[in-house]
Amino acid sequence: MLDENITYFEKQARIYPRSVKGRYRRLKWAAIAVLLGIYYATPWLRWHRGENLPDQAVLIDMPARRAYFFGLEIWPDEVYFITGILVLAAVGLFFVTSLLGRVWCGYACPQTVWTDLFVWVEEKIQGDRNRRIRLDSQGFTFERIWKKTVTHALWILIGLCTGGAWVFYFNDAPALFDHIRHFDLPWSVGSWILGLTASTYLMAGYAREQVCKYMCPYARFQSAMFDRDTLIIGYDAGRGEPRGKHKKGTSWEGKGHCIDCTQCVLVCPVGIDIRNGLQMECIACGLCVDACNDVMDKVDLPRGLIRYDTQRNYDDRQAGRATQSRLRLWRPRTFYYLGVLSLVSALMVYGLFARPRMELHAIQNRNPLFVKLSDGSIRNSYVVKILNKTHEARHFALGVTGVPVKRLDLQSATPLDPADLVVEGGMVAQYRVMLVADKQPAYRLPITLTAQEIDGGLHDSAATIFVSGDEP
Ligand code: SF4
Ligand code: SF4
């Protein structure tokens, strides 16, 4: 029985981060501008591929089952390239994390970027931290209603732009934009835009730091990539303690440099006190560094009471040993990550240059396995596909080895010549192929179907079987 008098879940306290100016805040704005610029501009980049081919540089064309990334064209059977890109992104992230700690979380993660944008809007409309707290403590006043309405309207607008930009990656951007302008959208596209608008609004407007705390798996396991030489945000307790208020002009004798102003806590977007040590919630955004440096400037003390540094340096300083001013780049784990990165990159480059420009696939029809003809011959049928991955029409001759066939026919509404099959550029041609041969001594013969380009070097083969007679 649950005791109704006990509260099992702590109510989430709303965080009102104070705005701050400084080097890391500027860096964050620069990162946001670059990343959002890339996100919104990429679908509008053009890349000429030839006639009748999409000219969008980055496009995932679902109906045509094709993905385009500048000069790279990925077919459905080459999805391993996408796997390779994801592996590279993941290992690249591990490498950066082992060097610079959680910079991805603090500067580049979409959750951070959009939350920053939403907080900026909130601050512009409702004012800085204290004004926002005051506003939320008011009842339904006119000021509160109009400020909240405008804030939420702008949030929804940003959400709409986010969802709107996303669907451009899956459609021709100018054509789709035209449809959007005329409110003439397929329901599938419209529902994606609405879904992404809603998720952006909820994640950046409401969930915010809770996404990092409770939903993001990366936050949980990235400490596995840390070592004593990874950059972390830290408070120099040796210099800061004993903390306490300080009156300007009085001596610092017997006092630490932390004046307990809590500015580092008030600016923190996840609401933690970094003076309690590194915590899982810290996204290494550096805003507490800016806040504390500002305070240090005001009390005429050197900056860096809170700073990016390595655990090794913090320990060495504590023990009175010399510290290292440069980041130790070459460590076992960075070698390991770089090794994996190089290996996967090399495999992908090799795969890119070695991938075939045409493919042949064959599947034997199982129902029936074979047909006995009136003259005693055996007929097997196959579904054969020729993938022409070039952009021009190619002519192929179909052949077979492994069984002495009497006839190789194609079943189709219009007569087709297996010695000259035309496959248009970028297309998959499918045929029903009939092989007729005398009854063979073996019940099941391994055979190979072949396709050779006429007047060209493209060729491929597909292994299959020829079933001859009843199973012994
Ligand atoms: S901002 Fe600096 S001085 Fe102020 S409480 Fe934080 S660590 Fe101490
Ligand atoms: S403790 Fe500092 S670096 Fe960490 S999240 Fe808070 S403000 Fe950002």
Same domain, 245 and 205: no
Q: Is the CB of 291 under 6 A from ligand 2?
A: no
From CA 436, how far away is CA 414, in angstroms rounded? 20
Least distant ligand from the CA of 208: 2
- Which of 202, 223, 244 is a domain's end point? 223
**Cα 212 to averaged position of ligand 2 atoms, centre (Å):** 13
pLDDT of residue 320: 85
Same domain, 191 and 257: no
- Distance from the Cα of residue 197 to its chain's centroid: 18
For residue 242, is the peptide bond before it cis, meaning its omega torsion is within 30 degrees of 0? yes
- Of 129, 282, 290, the residue with max ligand 2 atoms within 8 A of its CB, to mutate for a pocket test, comes to 282
Least distant ligand from the CA of 292: 1
From CA 453, how far away is CA 420, in angstroms rounded? 9
pLDDT of residue 336: 92
- CA distance between the termini of the chain: 68
Same domain, 101 and 173: yes
For residue 43, is the peptide bond before it cis, meaning its omega torsion is within 30 degrees of 0? no
In the chain, what's the furthest Cα-to-Cα distance? 114
Same domain, 106 and 63: yes
From CA 118, how far away is CA 36, in angstroms rounded? 13
From CA 39, how far away is CA 457, in angstroms rounded? 41
- Residue that the structure tokens 């419209």 belong to: 190
From CA 443, how far away is CA 270, in angstroms rounded? 71
pLDDT of residue 141: 93
Domain containing 176 equals: 23-223
The number of distinct structural domains making up the chain is 3
Q: Is residue 366 part of a domain?
A: yes
List the residue whose alpha carbon is closest to atom 8 of ligand 1. Answer: 258
**Cα 297 to averaged position of ligand 1 atoms, centre (Å):** 12
**Cα 34 to averaged position of ligand 1 atoms, centre (Å):** 31
Which three-class secondary structure string do you get for 306-356? EEEEEHHHHHHHHCCCCCCCCCCCCCHHHHHHHHHHHHHHHHHHHHHHHCC
Q: Is residue 472 part of a domain?
A: no
**Cα 239 to averaged position of ligand 1 atoms, centre (Å):** 11
Same domain, 307 and 401: no
| CATH of residue 406 | 2.60.40.10
Same domain, 178 and 235: no
pLDDT of residue 470: 66
Q: Is residue 313 part of a domain?
A: yes
Q: Is the CB of 264 under 6 A from ligand 1?
A: yes
From CA 403, how far away is CA 443, in angstroms rounded? 12
**Cα 114 to averaged position of ligand 2 atoms, centre (Å):** 17
How do 378-388 and 371-372 pair as beta strands?
antiparallel
Q: Is the CB of 263 under 6 A from ligand 1?
A: yes
- Of 16, 287, 290, 308, the residue with max ligand 2 atoms within 8 A of its CB, to mutate for a pocket test, comes to 287
Q: Is the CB of 288 under 6 A from ligand 2?
A: yes
Q: How far is CA 20 from CA 28, 267, 281, 323, 384, in A?
A: 12, 7, 20, 29, 65
pLDDT of residue 123: 96
Same domain, 149 and 283: no
From CA 178, how far away is CA 32, in angstroms rounded? 28
pLDDT tens for the chain, 472 residues: list them.
Answer: 567 777 777 777 889 999 999 999 999 999 999 999 999 999 999 999 888 889 999 999 999 889 999 988 999 888 888 899 999 999 999 999 999 999 999 999 999 999 999 999 999 999 999 999 999 998 889 999 999 999 999 999 999 999 999 999 999 999 999 999 998 888 989 999 999 999 999 999 999 999 998 899 887 888 888 889 999 999 999 899 999 998 888 888 889 999 999 999 999 999 999 999 988 899 999 999 999 999 999 999 999 999 999 999 988 888 888 888 888 888 898 999 999 999 999 999 999 888 899 999 999 998 888 999 999 999 999 999 999 999 899 999 999 999 999 999 999 888 899 999 999 998 999 999 999 999 888 888 999 999 999 988 999 999 999 998 766 5
Same domain, 262 and 390: no
Same domain, 181 and 266: no
**Cα 292 to averaged position of ligand 1 atoms, centre (Å):** 5
- Which of 223, 252, 278 is a domain's end point? 223
- Which of 318, 345, 377 is a domain's end point? 318
Same domain, 392 and 420: yes
Residue 398's H or E segment, with its range, is: strand 394-401
Q: Is residue 81 part of a domain?
A: yes
List the residue whose alpha carbon is closest to atom 7 of ligand 1. Answer: 258
Q: Which amino acid is at 19?
A: S
pTM to 2 decimal places? 0.84
Question: Which letter does DSSP use for residue 388 in this model?
Answer: E
Token pair recorded at residue 182: 């005329």
Same domain, 128 and 43: yes
Question: Angle 173-181/142-168 helices, nearest 10 degrees?
Answer: 140
Q: Is residue 11 part of a domain?
A: no
Q: Is residue 8 part of a domain?
A: no
Q: What is the DSSP string of 423-437?
A: E-TT-EEEEEEEEEE
Q: Is residue 165 part of a domain?
A: yes
pLDDT of residue 443: 86
Q: Is residue 403 part of a domain?
A: yes
Partners of residue 297 on adjacent β-strands: none
Same domain, 108 and 51: yes
